[in-house]
Every structure is written in structure tokens, then in C-alpha cells.
Amino acid sequence: MSRPIRIAISGGGLAGASLMFALLQYPHLDVHIFESASAFREAGMAIGVTRNAQAALDLIGPRAPELLKLAGAVPMRGVRFMIAQRDGQGEVINEVDDVKAGKRLTSIVHRAAYLQQLLADVPEDRLHASKKLSSIDQHPGFITLHFTDGTTHECDILIGADGIHSTVRKFILGENDPAASPRNTGFWAVMTIQPYEKARASIGQGLVDSNDAREYSWVGNGSYIMHNLLSDGQLVQFLICSSDHEAESSDRWQRTISADEIKQLYIDYPSHLRQAVEELLGQEPEHKAIYLWEHPPARTYVSGPICVRRPRTQRIVESSRGTGTMLIGKGETGVEMKRLGNLLPRWDFILDIDMLEHRNEAIQKMQNELAAST
């Protein structure tokens, strides 16, 4: 009997953990996952698992969709984009409802809870924390991974899920390739997760309702607010975002912003949102804001048996940046958001992709390559 195919996943976040969960069910694969931090954990804001991602989970197997429920994911009944400033304040710009659309939309889940579920059944000997990848040696027939603690690991295939600081990406492209290093977009965000009743009292009962869970995006002139529910409706995520032109393309990862600066950004927002900013963020004198970074388009995402992702994801990166610009009122249309009837269709290429066809296309390409090699 031939030996199993040895697969190494670099990066223990949600992407790497999802892949680990998917591949673990195949006995002919010997899969190991490596995380640079001292433990497998996630931090930061909750994420939306949209219908295309849910379709991908369906294809992984019946157990995969159950993990969302176990992690306390809250299915959103709808997503609403609202005008926060100037003419039309409080009006709906655009909305998608699961009943009208006839399709599931998105479920909001806490990163840490979801990661825990994805890795719950992974054998301990396949999980490797405190393993920061330092270099890669590609030999005929195998790959050697070198870690900063002096250890090594041999594999047949290496998949990079190592995020914005990706060592795998640098190996594929070369250290000097401009696309090998990330860039600061200039956008920054502050997020807080609060108990349901507290957030509901601040934001408003009609806007935070576990019986009619919806995600709200409030579009302003240079600023933005989003709120949604997670953890079986017990928690509410409240996020603010703005931009800092001076930080764009800089090496800054964080900035400190005072409560007074935050309040000033939202001084013209509806009263209930000003109250929410005051009560949910204004009680601390200052906050750490994180800058949002991105990778530039790359000429390739693969080098033999080493890869980072499919090129389609780069289009998502570029689309997301354009959408973010629109959401803080900095696009061509400014804050006159009534003109943005085309906002929701921006996600059609993401949400409406046929995941079954997408998977089958990948399988066919693999079979063609195998046939050609033999």
C-alpha cells in the first residue's frame, strides 16, 4: 500500500482550520496544521458566513454546517444599508431580505467559537502551535519546512493560509516581488462586543431584535457603523470605521483614537446612534483602532506543490476595498447614497457562485494534470 499524501497547512486561523476539517475525513491524506502563535485562537470581529460559504460547507459534508450552529451563529433575516447623515437620514438605501430573495443570506459567528468547533475533533498530534514558519526548501518530490524554533517538517504539499504576514506567499513570489508584502489601506476600525440587552438599550429595540435578526450598515460622510447579532443572540457586535489618508501604504498596524475623536466623527448621526457610540465606546478615554491591510494582485498563487489561494479571492479583496470606500461616503457618489442602488449587486459574483461547479472545475483540472503527467 502506498504511503499517505503528506499535506501541511501553514496558518491556524479560520481558513486553515476549515481546510483541516475538510481534509481530515480522507484517510489517504496525512494532514498537519501549523500555527505561529502559542495556541490556536482567533481574535477580532465576528464574521459573516454568506450563502456561498454555507454552500461550500454543505459540500464538505453534513457535519460541517452543524459547526456554525454549535458555535452560536445567528442567521440574519436581512441586511440593511441606511443613510446616516445629510438628506434622507434614517432612510434605507438598499436591503435584501431572506424571504424576498428566497435564499439564505448570511450567518454571523464569533471567530473564536467557530475556530474551536472546527478543530474540536482534530487529533492533537496533527495540531502544532508555536510553529512560526521561517523558510521553505523545495526538493524533488518533497518539501522541507523550517520553523523559528529550529524544528523541521517534511510534506508533499504545502498550503499557505498564513494571512497578511504570509511566509508562503513570499516564497512563491520571491521576497522582492511587490505583491509579496501587504499594504495599509488607510481604513481603520474599532469593534466592541456587548451583551444583548445593553446593546439593545443603546442602539434601539427596533434595530436590535433577536426575533428579527438583521445586520445594519450606517453609511456616513467619512465614517461608518455596522451592528449585528452573534452567539445565539446573546451578544451584539458594534463596529465603527473611518479612513486615515496619511496612513495609507504606511507600516502602521494600529492607531490610538480618543473617545472625543470618535464622538466627533458621529456628531451628525441620528440620536440613537450617537447614544450608542457614547454608551458603547465613549466610556473609555481612548481605544486601539486596527488598520485594515490587503495584498496587491499577484502574478501567480502557486509554485509546484505550494499554493496560497485561488486568484478569485483577489477579486474579492479589490471589490471589498471599493465597497468600503463607498460605505464611508468617499466614493464617486459621496454620501448621496440614494444613488447607490447598485450597492448590493457588487456582491453577486461572490454570493451567487455555483460552488458545486466551482469544485468540479478544480477536480477536473487536477485530473487533467495527473493524466498529462503520466
Q: How many domains does the chain have?
A: 2
Domain membership of residue 225 (yes or no) is: yes
Residues 264 and 166 in one domain: no
Residues 59 and 125 in one domain: yes
pLDDT of residue 336: 52
**CA 16 distance to own-chain centroid:** 12
List of residues 6+ apart from 142 with CB closer than 8 A: 6, 154, 155, 156
Domain membership of residue 372 (yes or no) is: no
pLDDT of residue 270: 93
pLDDT of residue 319: 82
Instruction: Judge whether 84 and 270 are in contact, CB under 8 Å.
Output: yes
pLDDT of residue 196: 97
Residues 145 and 277 in one domain: no
Residues 111 and 73 in one domain: yes
Beta bridge partners of 75: 107
pLDDT of residue 243: 92
Q: What's phi and psi for 158, nearest 5 deg?
A: -120, 125
pLDDT digits (tens, 9 = 90+) for 222-275: 899 999 999 999 999 999 999 999 999 899 999 999 999 999 999 999 999 999
pLDDT of residue 321: 79
Instruction: Judge whether 62 and 108 are in contact, CB under 8 Å.
Output: no
Residues 132 and 252 in one domain: no
Residues 47 and 149 in one domain: yes
Domain membership of residue 88 (yes or no) is: no
Instruction: Judge whether 165 and 14 are in contact, CB under 8 Å.
Output: no
Domain membership of residue 191 (yes or no) is: yes
pLDDT of residue 312: 78
CA 147, CA 150: separation in Å to the nearest integer? 6
CA angle 44, 111, 129 (to 5 degrees): 90
Domain membership of residue 209 (yes or no) is: yes
What are the cell numbers at 336?
448621496
238 burial type by CB count under 10 A (0-12 exposed, 13-18 middle, 19+ buried): buried
pLDDT of residue 338: 54
Domain membership of residue 342 (yes or no) is: no
Structural domain that includes position 212: 183-294
CATH number for 201: 3.30.9.30
pLDDT of residue 326: 77
Residues 177 and 187 in one domain: no
- Reduced to 3 states (helix: H, G, I; strand: E, B; else coil), residue 75 is strand
Residues 204 and 261 in one domain: yes
- Return the closest-CA partner of residue 335 out of 218, 245, 181: 218
List of residues 6+ apart from 28 with CB closer than 8 A: 4, 5
Q: Is the pTM of this model over 0.85?
A: yes
**CA 239 distance to own-chain centroid:** 14
pLDDT digits (tens, 9 = 90+) for 179-194: 999 999 999 999 999 9
pLDDT digits (tens, 9 = 90+) for 108-130: 999 999 999 999 999 999 999 99
Q: What's phi and psi for 77, nearest 5 deg?
A: -70, -25
Report residues of the chain scoring pLDDT below 70: 1, 99-102, 330-344
Cα Dmax for the chain = 71
What are the cell numbers at 143?
518539501
- Return the closest-CA partner of residue 13 out of 85, 102, 112, 100: 112
Domain membership of residue 196 (yes or no) is: yes
pLDDT of residue 330: 65
Residues 134 and 146 in one domain: yes
CATH number for 118: 3.50.50.60
Residues 248 and 315 in one domain: no
Instruction: Judge whether 103 and 5 are in contact, CB under 8 Å.
Output: no
What are the cell numbers at 116?
474551536
Domain membership of residue 34 (yes or no) is: yes
Residue written as grid cell 454555507: 54
Residues 29 and 157 in one domain: yes
Residues 12 and 149 in one domain: yes
CA 137, CA 130: separation in Å to the nearest integer? 20
